[in-house]
Amino acid sequence: MLDALRQPIETGEAVIARANHHVTYPARFQLVAAMNPCRCGHLADPNRACSRAPRCGGDYQNRLSGPLLDRFDLAIEVQAVSAADLSLPPPAEGSATVAARVAAARALQTERYRRLDPTGAVRTNADANGELLTAVAEPDPPGRALMRQAAEKLQLSARGYHRVLKVARTLADLDRAETVCRVHVAEALAYRGRGG
């Protein structure tokens, strides 16, 4: 059932086909998903994990197909919050500061694609593909070398490779950097998670 999301995630459209009639609906959305590492949720804690650990974790996680996971730009493993963590002071960078940085990066992207895509179909890095993506997200030589190594080692699909470039371009925008550098590629690869 979850694999039915693959096409809308990829194209931004949902197609309903019945007999001799097809209807296409716009389906541009941001998907945020969460899952436990296993059925019981305690895979990382040997004192609380079930008797089937670690096999139960693999079985549980394998319910999501590789092609579906390949369409996720960011996959971050979050450890359980301990009672001691709850008493820590708030982070140094507040939500308003982060929101301002994100708004500035979005404005930069809007202006970039207004110049480069007269059709108006591309508004953000996530929308860029093909030659346009290559033009805006081509990393510097050290970044290209890292992408080449990662593509081989992680066995990135073409889709995965391009998604890493889109995230790296966005990270460069957040840094207000003209060029996608090795550090942006490395961070984008780290967010890829799941070994690819």
> How many domains in the chain?
2
* Claim to verify: residue 111 and residue 156 sit in the same structural domain: yes
158, part of any domain:
yes
* Claim to verify: residue 102 and residue 173 sit in the same structural domain: yes
More confident residue, 150 or 85: 150
* Claim to verify: residue 64 and residue 116 sit in the same structural domain: no
* Claim to verify: residue 50 and residue 105 sit in the same structural domain: no
Distance of CA 60 to the CA centre of its chain: 21
Residues in the chain: 196
* Claim to verify: residue 104 and residue 184 sit in the same structural domain: yes
- Strand ranges (DSSP E) for 90-142? none
Tokens describing residue 178: 């003209």
% residues pLDDT > 90 (the chain): 55
Which domain does 19 fall in, by range?
2-72
% residues pLDDT > 70 (the chain): 98
pTM, entire model: 0.86
47, part of any domain:
yes
117, part of any domain:
yes
Closest by Cα among 113, 156, 155 to 133 = 113
* Claim to verify: residue 54 and residue 99 sit in the same structural domain: no
* Claim to verify: residue 112 and residue 48 sit in the same structural domain: no
User: Is the bond into 141 cis (omega within 30 degrees of 0)?
Assistant: no
Q: How confident is the model at residue 194 (pLDDT cuts 50, 70, 90)?
A: low
- 164-179 b/e with 16+ CB inside 10 Å = b? bbbbbbbbbbbeeeee
In tens, the pLDDT along 91-130 reads: 888 899 999 999 999 999 999 999 998 888 899 999 999 9
